[in-house]
């Protein structure tokens, strides 16, 4: 099972997002250059949805950490 909120996990997540963003950026440029602007638009839309979902996942992890911190404060 993957470590929750670990530094290696966060680095892997960031590298995965950067890699996917790089591939999507290159595909966007390719479709723009070949004149297939409708594919480029849908690619941007898919990239936006992916980044939004990842951001929501990161926010959930962030708020889980905050809740854990406040629970720790209440027990101390």
Sign of CA dihedral 58, 59, 62, 63: negative
22-71, pLDDT tens digit by residue? Answer: 998 898 889 889 988 888 888 889 888 988 998 898 899 899 999 999 99
Q: Which helix (H) or strand (E) holds 40?
A: helix 37-75
pLDDT for the residue numbered 2: 47
pLDDT at 49: 92
Contact 65, 46 (CB under 8 A): no
* 34: its two tokens: 């070949």
Q: Please tell me the distance from the alpha carbon of residue 50 to that of residue 36, in angstroms, as a whole number.
A: 21
pLDDT of residue 8: 78
pLDDT at 37: 87
> Rounded to two decimals, what is the model's pTM?
0.67
Q: With bands split at pLDDT 50, 70 and 90, how would you rate the model's confidence at 21? A: confident
């Amino acid at each position: 099972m993957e470590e929750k909120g670990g530094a290696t996990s966060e680095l892997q997540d960031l590298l995965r997002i950067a890699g996917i963003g790089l591939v999507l950026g290159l595909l966007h440029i390719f479709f723009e250059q070949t004149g297939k602007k409708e594919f480029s638009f849908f690619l941007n839309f898919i990239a936006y949805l992916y980044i939004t979902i990842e951001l929501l996942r990161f926010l959930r992890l962030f708020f889980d950490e905050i809740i854990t911190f406040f629970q720790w404060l209440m027990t101390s």
